Homo-oligomer: A and B are copies of this chain.
């Protein structure tokens, strides 16, 4: 398929991310339909005018009319949905997703998929601390990264359409990683950070900390407000990579503790200089 303004796009799963995709894609002129679990979410999106049609069940007509389908589901629901409903896909349909882990979905889905449709995985690295379609907001894409995650089974055309999709939704930077590289990178930059935020928020029972915090504590715990069902599944689906990153962090944190306890001033300052240089490089987009 080619991504043109009249393309018929179906969003499956109308939560925060599915809703934000629908808003972004509707805004730029696509015909956007949605399938959700709850009728009230469909009704809300119709009222707000960011989908054209919707159903609270796997409507064969909506599925069959879609040239591009975006899956915004939990990993285990995603696979099951494909299994049950792929018979309704139109030949040549392109499928993509927003799933935060890739190894555990990409290969299985490409394996089980009908040969006349193609699945190209993507990970929009954006989110909010609240969930549900009522919190959908496509402005979260503006300064965000969008990672396309192809395998050997993907065609150059599908990869290109997937990148175009990221571009039209307003993502700042679009890159490509293998499923393995993606999961390793995400274990470090996203999953580890969530584990740290959770542990910081739960490690000390001090009361009334709101009166005694600076911005730093608020920044480090913003993501400690977390959807426990989704993140537990994402963590466990990437557990080997996550545990590896947790161990790297714990070792480095332990090293800093040791330098502090032994008053190794040069060691402490060298570590701080390294961290400062790396953070400046990150701000410069490196």
Interface, chain A (partner B; CB < 8 A): 125-127, 129, 144-145, 147, 173, 175, 177, 185-186, 188-190, 192-204, 206, 208-226, 228-229, 231-232, 235-236, 239, 242-243, 245-257, 260-261, 263, 265, 268-269, 271-276, 278-286
CA distance A161 to B202 in the complex (A): 36
Whether B190 contacts A216 by the Cβ 8 Å rule is yes
> A3 to nearest B CB, angstroms?
22
In the complex, chain B residues whose CB is within 8 Å of the CB of A224: 275-276, 278-279
- Contact A145:B225 (CB < 8 A) given known A202-B274, A235-B268, A275-B201: no
> A239 to nearest B CB, angstroms?
6
Whether A252 contacts B202 by the Cβ 8 Å rule is yes
Q: What would 17 more interface pairs be, CB under 8 Å, given A175-B211, A193-B200? A: A125-B212, A175-B212, A188-B204, A188-B206, A189-B216, A190-B214, A190-B217, A195-B253, A195-B260, A196-B196, A209-B282, A225-B275, A225-B276, A226-B272, A228-B272, A249-B253, A250-B254
CA distance A261 to B236 in the complex (A): 8
Contact partner, A125, options B213, B245, B284, Cβ 8 Å: B213
Contact partner, A261, options B125, B189, B239, Cβ 8 Å: B239
Indicate the member of A127, A145, A260, A269 with the most B CB atoms within 10 Å. Answer: A260
> A245 to nearest B CB, angstroms?
7
Chain B residue nearest in CB terms to A283? B225
In the complex, chain B residues whose CB is within 8 Å of the CB of A286: 208, 210
Contact partner, A209, options B185, B209, B223, B226, Cβ 8 Å: B185
Top 5 closest pairs, chain A to chain B, by CB: A203-B252, A228-B272, A201-B275, A125-B214, A199-B253
In the complex, chain B residues whose CB is within 8 Å of the CB of A260: 195, 235-236, 239, 242-243, 246
Whether A202 contacts B243 by the Cβ 8 Å rule is no
Whether B211 contacts A173 by the Cβ 8 Å rule is yes
> A147 to nearest B CB, angstroms?
6
- Contact A256:B219 (CB < 8 A) given known A189-B209, A214-B145, A248-B204: no
Contact partner, A212, options B189, B212, B242, B249, Cβ 8 Å: B189
In the complex, chain B residues whose CB is within 8 Å of the CB of A232: 265, 268-269, 272
Chain B residue nearest in CB terms to A144? B214
In the complex, chain B residues whose CB is within 8 Å of the CB of A145: 211-214
In the complex, chain B residues whose CB is within 8 Å of the CB of A235: 260, 268
Whether A198 contacts B245 by the Cβ 8 Å rule is no
Whether B177 contacts A212 by the Cβ 8 Å rule is yes
Contact partner, A250, options B210, B257, B279, Cβ 8 Å: B257
CA distance A208 to B254 in the complex (A): 25
> A52 to nearest B CB, angstroms?
30
